[in-house]
Amino acid sequence: MKGPGPAAAAAPVGKRRWRCLAAACAALALLFFSVVVPLAVLLGLHARFPSMYLVDESAVSVYDGSEGGSWEPIPSEENDRLRVNDPVKELLPATSEEWTDTNASQPDIVIGSQPKLDELNGNISIHSAPPIQQATTLESSSLLNITDIDLKDNFKQGLPGDENGKSCQLEFGSYCRWSVEHKEVMKDSTVKRLKDQLFVARAYYPSIVKLEGMGKLSREMKQNIQDHERMLSDAISDTDLSKLHGVSMAKMDQTIAAAKLCAIECTNVEKKLRQLLDMTEDEAIFHVRQSAYLYRLGVQTLPKSLHCLSMRLTVDYFKSSADMEHSDTGKLENPAFRHYVIFSTNLLASSMTINSTVINSEESANMVFHLVTDAQNFYAFKNWFIRNSYRGATIGVLNFEDFQLKNLGHGEVEQLSPSEEFRVTSHSNALMLNTPMRTEYISMFGHSLSLLPELFSNLKRVIVLEDDTIVQRDLSLLWNLDLKGKVIGAVQFCGIRFSQLRAYLLDFPYDSSSCIWMSGVSVIDLDKWREHDVTGIYHRILQKLQHDTEASWRAAALPGGLLAFKDLMHPIEGHWVHFGLGHDYGLTHGAIKRAAILHYNGNMKPWLELGIRRYRKYWKRYLPRDEPFMIDCNVNP
């Protein structure tokens, strides 16, 4: 039997050599990637390559947005722009156009109905399905109202919001653009820096104490923490700091740097930082609630100067032995004159409303003002309006509680209830968190105004003014307004409709699309009131509403007023009254000057320190400057 030839014997040897060579190459390749690639990452060579995800540019598509549209590939030169703009687009608030399109559904309504500057217990929200937003590409910087700014150049040079002075890149979101608009000079930066150092040192200290051989570092850190606490206990601003605060800050920086070099577990520092963060959040929540309470207290509390004015006038009334009655009291019940009614407990505000009405009237001699107040302020009102004259106008002051005791006595409305205000806050169901909110203040008749026909039984028509209004034009045309058979003439406000208040209107019948009305200025036909028995309707509505507490009793004025006059209201043209001077900062001076009546509805009344200063001048121009009692009480809103 013959053995194998030389060629046949050489073939298996060649294959074995090739296999060995391939195995060696694979091992070398594996060694290369396992050593060289991590080394390249550590040396920072990865910065030359694209970060995040590598995307096949030909696979990126965009929807054209049209009806029945299709997905089309994006050219490579546009893909880079979209990858930059998309993160910003997700973080930016919607434009006004997008807002209109995507928020056409019914907004949420949260109603606070503690009247006259208070809130309702138990807010109610009405939710609707969130709208579907279409993706839009960010093309301009107008979304953020950045004008005359070359964003491209600013991003290269570094924007003011960048802490480290590095270029503010668009890829990082919209914070850099936001910082351009909201850039503020930091006050007391040194104190804030001390607090930051103390915050970090407290986070590291528990871990440093547990390490072996770090006794010296832990003692230094403890000493630095105590020094910082001592400085911050005596300093609120930078001017309060001692001259050696720079040395303490330098020592703390060195100690923190040394602590960061120690081999400690990150979880320990993280737990301590989270604990400190939770404590800081709790403290911030406490201060927010405290500031809200103090703000509310400042709004509701009568200023000391106005309290002084009322008290001094009351004392002076009983000291005076002169006849404190007008000689023209016959005008008070004569329907031939023009009668104006004000329900109020605020002496200064009521006098300002009357003064502005008389000054801007063409014929003030035929004007009669009826001031309805409570027993506490009755004598101060009476003394003030007898001491001061108003161009021949007649002023009569009525004690509501005394009237109730003498004439009615059935206890339906025992105490004076002036006009009430209800805060209505509406917000949209937008998908983004930073959605704009809109707050309105609805003024509505108080319960006392339901007794108008009984209070003024001889009168046929009156104009009811609220004490937070200022008159800038003659109201003759308003007095002669044809109400077309209706009971009340008032300005409609279609920013809020009946359907949005359905939670308060219960099961009473009403037109859900009807606009509400504002009681700041109202023309009332008392004969029609008596004919339709509006007082009876109002009281029957109140009987069906639950009002066990004082807050719920006052809150019942909203559904009571809207439902009692829902078919008896004649709309007055909107140019007569300009609302919002007590809460809206966006009103223009041109619109304010053109209005016949200014209504300071809202919680920032012009006689308060919290009032909006740019609108206060329209109110202050009617202040009596030479009144002795105002000078003595330092009344100068």
Concatenating the DSSP letter of every residue in 293-354 gives HHHHHHHHSPPHHHHHHHHHHHHHHHH--S--S-S-GGGGG-TTSEEEEEE-S-HHHHHHHH
In this model, does residue 375 exceed pLDDT 70? yes
In this model, does residue 336 exceed pLDDT 60? yes
Q: Given this model, what pLDDT does residue 244 score?
A: 82
Q: Estimate the share of the chain in helix, then strand, then coil, as percent rounded to the nearest 5.
A: 50, 15, 40
Q: Given this model, what pLDDT does residue 101 score?
A: 40
Q: Given this model, what pLDDT does residue 324 score?
A: 56
| CB 566, CB 505: distance < 8 Å | no
What domains, with CATH codes, occur in the chain? Answer: 189-300 (no CATH), 304-632 (3.90.550.10)
- State the SS3 of 546-600: CCCCHHHHHHCHHHHHHHHCCCCEEEECHHHEECCCCCCCCCCHHHHHHCCEEEC
In this model, does residue 538 exceed pLDDT 50? yes
Q: Given this model, what pLDDT does residue 510 score?
A: 87
> Residue 35's pLDDT band (boundaries 50, 70, 90)?
low
Q: Which residue has the higher pLDDT, 412 or 526?
A: 526
Is residue 453 within a helix (H) or strand (E), and if so which, with residue range? helix 452-455
Q: Given this model, what pLDDT does residue 128 score?
A: 32
- Please count the CA atoms within 13 angstroms of the CA of 515 that sit on its side-chain side: 13
In this model, does residue 599 exceed pLDDT 80? yes
- pTM, two decimals, is 0.62
Q: Given this model, what pLDDT does residue 545 score?
A: 83
> Residue 456's pLDDT band (boundaries 50, 70, 90)?
very high
What's the mean pLDDT in 375-382?
93
Q: Given this model, what pLDDT does residue 22 score?
A: 64
Q: Given this model, what pLDDT does residue 38 score?
A: 58
Q: Given this model, what pLDDT does residue 206 score?
A: 84
Q: Given this model, what pLDDT does residue 92 score?
A: 36
Is residue 88 within a helix (H) or strand (E), and if so which, with residue range? helix 76-91
Q: Round to whole Å and give the CA distance between 623 and 625.
A: 6
> Residue 287's pLDDT band (boundaries 50, 70, 90)?
confident
- What are the structure tokens assigned to 600, written together? 């300071």
In this model, does residue 62 exceed pLDDT 60? no
Q: Round to whole Å and give the CA distance between 493 and 574.
A: 9
Q: Round to whole Å and give the CA distance between 581 and 599.
A: 6
Q: Round to whole Å and give the CA distance between 494 and 275.
A: 49
What confidence tens digit (pLDDT) does each residue in 123-151 have? Answer: 333 333 333 233 222 232 222 332 333 33
Q: Given this model, what pLDDT does residue 547 score?
A: 72
What confidence tens digit (pLDDT) does each residue in 215-224 have? Answer: 889 899 999 8
> Residue 163's pLDDT band (boundaries 50, 70, 90)?
very low
Q: Round to whole Å and give the CA distance between 358 and 341.
A: 14
Is residue 403 within a helix (H) or strand (E), and if so which, with residue range? helix 400-403
Q: What is the mean pLDDT of the chain?
A: 74
Q: Given this model, what pLDDT does residue 344 score?
A: 94
Residue 442, Cβ neighbours under 10 Å: how many? 25
Q: Given this model, what pLDDT does residue 83 score?
A: 35
> Residue 87's pLDDT band (boundaries 50, 70, 90)?
very low
What's the mean pLDDT in 332-350?
94
What confidence tens digit (pLDDT) does each residue in 317-332 have? Answer: 988 855 555 557 788 9
Kindly report which listed range (193-197, 261-265, 608-612) carries the lowest average pLDDT score.
Answer: 261-265
Rg over CA atoms, the chain: 37
What's the mean pLDDT in 423-437?
62
Q: Given this model, what pLDDT does residue 40 score?
A: 54
> Residue 596's pLDDT band (boundaries 50, 70, 90)?
very high
Q: Which residue has the higher pLDDT, 2 or 414?
A: 414
Is residue 154 within a helix (H) or strand (E), and if so which, with residue range? helix 151-157
What's the mean pLDDT in 341-346?
95
What's the mean pLDDT in 74-85?
37
What confidence tens digit (pLDDT) does each residue in 464-487 have? Answer: 999 999 999 999 999 999 999 999
Highest mean pLDDT among 183-192, 270-279, 302-311, 324-333: 302-311
In this model, does residue 60 exceed pLDDT 80? no
> Residue 14's pLDDT band (boundaries 50, 70, 90)?
low
In this model, does residue 25 exceed pLDDT 60? yes
In this model, does residue 96 exceed pLDDT 50? no
What confidence tens digit (pLDDT) does each residue in 189-217 have? Answer: 888 888 888 888 888 888 888 888 888 89
Is residue 157 within a helix (H) or strand (E), and if so which, with residue range? helix 151-157
In this model, does residue 518 exceed pLDDT 80? yes
Vertex 516: Cα angle to 540 and 422 (nearest 5): 80
> Residue 496's pLDDT band (boundaries 50, 70, 90)?
confident
With pLDDT > 90 as the criterion, what percentage of the chain qualifies?
A: 31
> Residue 154's pLDDT band (boundaries 50, 70, 90)?
very low
